[in-house]
Amino acid sequence: MSNSTDLTRAEELSEQLLSGDRRALSRAISLVEADTPAGRLISGLIYPHTGKAQIIGITGSAGTGKSTLVGSIAREERKRDRSIGIIAVDPSSPFSHGAILGDRIRMQDLTSDSGVFLRSMASRGNLGGLSETATAVSDLLDAANFDVVLIETVGAGQDEVEVANAAGTTVLVANPGAGDDVQSMKAGLMEVAQIMVVNKADLAGADTAVAQLRSLLAIANFGAWTPPILKTVASSGDGVSELVDRMDEHQRFITVSDHANQERIDHAQRQILALARAVMHRQTLAEATESLLLDMLTKQVAVRAKDPRSAAIELVDSLRSSWSGAQSSK
């Protein structure tokens, strides 16, 4: 529960970050990430000031060059005189510390630029799901008046699809020679991407990868926006200016085109559903692990007296009836 000290603190930090104070922004991000009462108050206070930034999700398999691309995009945005906030999601695996360090080095020239703000985020902090945290942090950057917010995330699972929902425009990064990869994208991320990029186009097979993506897109069912497929060399910056042009074009599509209203409604609904799924998942697991019924069902399943699916349904039914009486705490 929040108290008056939390409220005063939240009000102060919110005002400071809205006026562009970077230290207040960093503190606010930490409070929001840790899901503290002050952090929740800040999220509520700043929300009316959001909606101005261009939110871009950069996703794709590990090592496709997302961070390098984020650096190149940031440089291009700075050339266009726009400020940029970057959220780099650390998948918090034991292997990722090197990656984050590498990102820091790759972005060194950017970190001394006051028009750039870089924040690494652990994917599983106190606030349960990655999507909840990334959305909340991206709102803070939006409120702090960054023109562009980039969220980099490794495209592997549900979390990343949800992050994609937080962004207005999602860029899917693939590589040449990653045919299987391209095939496996079909099911998940492909549907949430509005721009496809074949990065490392300096390597052999880039045109084949583009052709593969094109044939996958041909059978997919898109609305009024057909995702363009671009080639980039993130390490040299080739193709990045066109990528930024296309990002801007999509931003216009979702903000001022004839389709903007419908896009806004669809996006709002996707966001609510993605977050609801994340919140429900977290709450269900938290409550289920403390439930006596789980103990009982576990014993039954362990001796094959009951099948796991029936047990799961029974557990969820029991949780649901306990929720219907209780008031939502979040």
Ligand X SMILES: Nc1nc2c(ncn2[C@@H]2O[C@H](COP(=O)(O)OP(=O)(O)OP(=O)(O)O)[C@@H](O)[C@H]2O)c(=O)[nH]1
34: partner contacted, choices ligand X, Mg ion, none (Cβ within 5-8 A by kind): none
The values of phi and psi at residue 213, to 5°, are -60, -40
Tokens of 2: 């929040």
Does 64 participate in binding ligand X (rule CB under 6 A)?
yes
Nearest distance from C-beta of residue 99 to ligand X, angstroms: 4
Nearest CB to ligand X, comparing residues 105 and 256? 105
Q: Is 152 helix (H, G, I), strand (E, B) or coil?
A: strand
Q: In what order do the strands lie in the sheet with 54-60?
A: 116-122, 84-90, 148-154, 54-60, 169-174, 195-199, 229-232
Binding mask 88-107 for ligand X (x = CB under 6 A): -----------x--x-----
Nearest distance from C-beta of residue 121 to ligand X, angstroms: 13
Nearest CB to Mg ion, comparing residues 6 and 103? 103
**Is beta strand 148-154 parallel, antiparallel or unpaired with respect to 169-174?**
unpaired
The set of long-range contacts for 254-259, using a CB threshold of 8 Å and a minimum separation of 24, is: 254/168, 254/169, 259/223, 259/224, 259/225
200: partner contacted, choices Mg ion, ligand X, none (Cβ within 5-8 A by kind): ligand X
Site residues (vs Mg ion, CB under 5 A):
66-67
Nearest CB to ligand X, comparing residues 24 and 149? 149
The CB-side HSE value for 164 (13 A sphere, CA atoms) comes to: 23
Residue 213 · residue 248 · CB < 8 Å: no
Binding mask 183-202 for ligand X (x = CB under 6 A): ----------------xx-x
154: partner contacted, choices ligand X, Mg ion, none (Cβ within 5-8 A by kind): ligand X
Within 128-147, the residues that bind ligand X by CB under 6 A are none
Residue 11 · residue 45 · CB < 8 Å: yes
The Cα–Cα gap between 28 and 229 comes to: 37
Residue 31 · residue 38 · CB < 8 Å: yes
CA–centroid distance for 108 within its chain: 23
Binding window for ligand X (CB under 6 A); candidates: 66-74, 119-127, 133-141, 210-218: 66-74
Nearest distance from C-beta of residue 167 to ligand X, angstroms: 16
Nearest distance from C-beta of residue 311 to Mg ion, angstroms: 39
Within 218-237, the residues that bind ligand X by CB under 6 A are 233-235
Largest CA distance in the chain: 66
Does 63 participate in binding ligand X (rule CB under 6 A)?
yes
Question: Residues 36, 59, 67, 131: which binds ligand X (CB under 6 A)?
Answer: 67
Question: Residues 65, 129, 176, 227: which binds ligand X (CB under 6 A)?
Answer: 65
Nearest CB to Mg ion, comparing residues 28 and 233? 233
The contact set with ligand X (CB under 6 A) reads 62-68, 99, 102, 154, 199-200, 202-203, 233-235
